[in-house]
Homo-oligomer: A and B are copies of this chain.
């Protein structure tokens, strides 16, 4: 029945009008998740929001307690072939190399400078720590922000040939917006660097810097020529990953999420912690099973094991056992990026 014929109908009863507006309202709600295909995954999001925001519902959550947490790498934006922040670090090594002639002979820097991908793929945590120390420390927080901002403005993804900040998942942006429209506070809870993500969180995700929880290095308050600065030290302060995620959530937010989104083994504890908080909780994991439009990796369900952002079979089993929703990029997402069709 088309809209025009409804309007021209003479026998329109108040009941019909009411039903029509209810349908319109329901269609509007669906539109906020326009990039999601209809099905149980999209339905789970809609039902969760309805249950937690309808006053009188047994699962009702007061607006002040509506906390939703989102992992970043692989959940909100592309994480392959390497985490964006690792790309930043490698580019920085190249840029800083002229001032560090000793790097030509010293690993891990040497392998980065000659582009030895095989060696880089085998970097130990200690070697990555050296790279992070050399590229992320030794400057003030303000200088670091400026460096990251500059890099993001010019760097492009090797495969998609676009700025990293465009390689964000449109369906997830819609979920964040939809949750915020329903009085949820959306937090990024990432294993990546808190200060790194703060540089673009507001512009890219609509998430204020006050709602970014991440890993961090030690900072020290110092006087520099009469001006106080926070200097970044080459020493780990907090790792916001795996069992560190519930710790970070409690530390930085102080409330337990009612919805949590992740994509890898690093998010397992965040989802467990969220679920244990009460009824009608929403736990979702993005499965990268779309080699055509993005990437396909698991190794759950026989997908390739890329050793990065892994979704192991044990996580898939836990998701099934606990009733977490696994998002299939291939089947659940009509569109992947804001720019694609």
Q: Which residues of A contact B (CB under 8 A)?
A: 64, 141, 185, 194, 198, 208-210, 212, 216, 219-221, 227-228, 230, 243-244, 246-247, 250-255, 269, 272-273, 276
Contacts and interface: CB of A to CB of B under 8 A. Distances in A.
Given A221-B273, A228-B269, A276-B227, A209 B243 contact: no
A255 B216 contact: no
Counted per complex, copies of this chain come to 2
Nearest to A273: B228
B269 A219 contact: no
Nearest to A222: B243
Contact of A247 (B64, B198, B230): B230
Contacts of A276: 227-228
Contacts of A243: 220-221
Chain B CB within 10 Å, residue with most, of A210, A216, A272: A210
Given A272-B228, A273-B228, A209 B251 contact: no
A250 B230 contact: yes
Given A208-B64, A209-B255, A269-B228, A250 B220 contact: no
Chain B CB within 10 Å, residue with most, of A185, A194, A230, A269: A230
Contacts of A251: 194, 216, 219
B210 A250 contact: no
B254 A221 contact: no
